[in-house]
Amino acid sequence: MKNEKVEEAAMEEKNTASVATAVKSKRNNGKLPKRKFWKDWRLYLMLIPGLISLIVFSYVPLYGLQLAFKTYKPTLGIWGSPWVGFENFQYAVASRGFLKMVGNTLALGGLKIIFAFPSSIILALMMNEVTNKPFKKTVQTVSYLPYFISWVIVNSIVNMFLLKDGGVLNKIIVAFGGDPIFWYAESKYWRAIITISGIWKNVGWGTIVFLSALTNINPDLYEASQIDGAGRWKQCMYITIPGIMPAIAMTFILSVSGIVKDDFEQIYALVGESSILSDKTEVLGTWVYKSLKGSFLGWGDATAVGLVQSIAGFVLVILSNWLVQKTDNQGLW
């Protein structure tokens, strides 16, 4: 009897103790007491070099965006230059060839989404069907290679194909009895050339994300579906593609803002300042660069164009992320 009572008392004590802690933790919203700032001063110190770099090279230029609403006067600096409202935007829009330039940017960006984006997925699916390990490894290794060379080098390869005399493509055309084409004098081919060279450089590299997603698909699913009589095609449609959907969604978000953000690095390397080709290849980026190299009078307009481009890219990322989340896939955040 005595023992029982002691036990009961002990139980009660425990109960009240646990209630007390429960009350206590409620008072702190269930969180640990807030940590003191100064305790982690070393961690904050570590952030400083990175913060300085971000502020100087990313946030100061953001502050410089006010140039979009000003007329730049070198003697007065960005801060002191007079405000002009939306005049720069109006000038930019009214300038010769502006619409064509916007059209080129959107066309090249659209081609990239339509052709370059799926190309990596298709290549990854093809590689995934290969059962011969050494063959697969070779294809992978070789297809990643172009990612490691610069656009300047790619330009030399494009040269190699397209030179009027001695270029490989013209040699082939002549061998089949055709007339050589002056590629560098005809702008109509260049959207295709830019798109194809972009795919050539990036397609192999793009497969990595999808290949790693493919290895995460449960192999039991394939076995089960085989028993149910599903063929290869059905397996691909109902197991493989849904299995890599999150990877596809993420790549899509990351590439969709490319529609408005032109690949200056690529286009300038391939086309340079050729005025013959600019009809189909002049994009916002190359125009802004030319304004930079030109007189400072055009800098306000060019900044305005850059600002619109940044905003459009930002909005596209947010929109596509929202869209992806809406369709039940994980977004970027």
Partner 1 sequence: MKITKGRLAFNIVNYTLLSLLTLCFVIPYIYILSASFSDEIAFTKAGFTLLPREWSLKAYTFLLTTDGQMLRSILNSVIVTVAGTVLVTFVSMLYAYPLSKKYLRGNKLFSIIMIFTMLFSGGLIPYFLTVSNIFPEASLLTLIIPGCMAPYYAILLRNFFMGIPDSLEEACKIDGGTDFLILFRIYFPLSMPVIATVALFAAVSKWNDYVAPLLFVSTDKTKFTLQFLIQQLLSDVSGIYASGGSEIVPAQTLKYAAVVFGSLPMIMLYPFLQKYYITGMVLGGVKE
CA distance 143 to 173: 27
Judged by CB under 8 A, does residue 59 bind partner 1? yes
What is the b/e burial string over 235-267, where b = at least 16 CB atoms within 10 angstroms of the residue's CB?
Answer: eeeebbeebbbebbbbbbbebbbbbbbbbbebb
Instruction: Please report whether residue 248 would count as binding partner 1 according to CB under 8 A.
Output: no
Determine, following the binding rule CB under 8 A, whether residue 289 of this chain makes contact with partner 1.
yes
Tell me how far, at minimum, the Cβ of 122 lies from partner 1, in Å. Answer: 10
* Terminal alpha carbon distance of the chain: 62
* Closer to partner 1 by Cβ: residue 15 or 212: 212
**Which of these ranges, 3-11, 22-30, 96-104, 304-312, lies near partner 1 under the rule CB under 8 A?**
304-312
Give whichever of 17 and 294 is closer to partner 1, judged by the CB atom.
294
Q: Which of 2, 4, 23, 50 binds partner 1 (CB under 8 A)?
A: 50
- Comparing CA positions, the residue from 17, 202, 189 lying closest to residue 119 is 202
Q: Please, which of residues 153-172 interact with partner 1 by CB under 8 A?
A: 153, 155-157, 159-161, 163, 165-168, 171
Q: Per CB under 8 A, does 98 bind partner 1?
A: no
Of these, 91, 115, 222, 264, which contacts partner 1 (CB under 8 A)?
264
Distance in angstroms (rounded) separating the CA atoms of residues 250 and 260? 18
Q: Which stretch binds partner 1 (CB under 8 A): 4-12, 93-101, 122-130, 181-189?
A: 122-130
| Binding flag, residue 231, partner 1 (CB under 8 A) | yes
Q: In the numeric block, which tokens belong to residue 301?
A: 């307009």
Interface with partner 1, residue 186, by CB under 8 A: no
Give the Cα separation of 331 and 321 in Å (integer): 5
256 binds partner 1 (CB under 8 A): no
319 lies in the site for partner 1, by CB under 8 A: no
Judge whether 89 and 304 are in contact, CB under 8 Å.
Answer: yes
Site residue total, partner 1 (CB under 8 A): 91
Q: How far is the CB of 326 from partner 1 (least distance, A)?
A: 18
89 binds partner 1 (CB under 8 A): no
List Cα–Cα distances, 37 to 25, 42, 46, 49, 50, in angstroms. 22, 10, 14, 19, 19
Q: Does 272 bind partner 1 (CB under 8 A)?
A: yes
From the list 49, 85, 134, 177, which residue makes contact with partner 1 (rule: CB under 8 A)?
A: 49
Neighbours of 272 (CB within 10 A): 13
Please, which residue, 10 or 241, has the CB nearer to partner 1?
A: 241
**Site map (CB under 8 A) of partner 1, residues 200-219, x = contact:** x---x---xx--x-------
Beta bridge partners of 70: 83
Q: Give bridge partners of residue 83 from the DSSP assignment.
A: 70
Specify whether the CB–CB gap between 119 and 238 falls below 8 A.
Answer: no
Asked if 330 is part of the footprint of partner 1 (rule: CB under 8 A), the reply reads yes
What CA–CA distance (Å, rounded) separates 65 from 305? 10
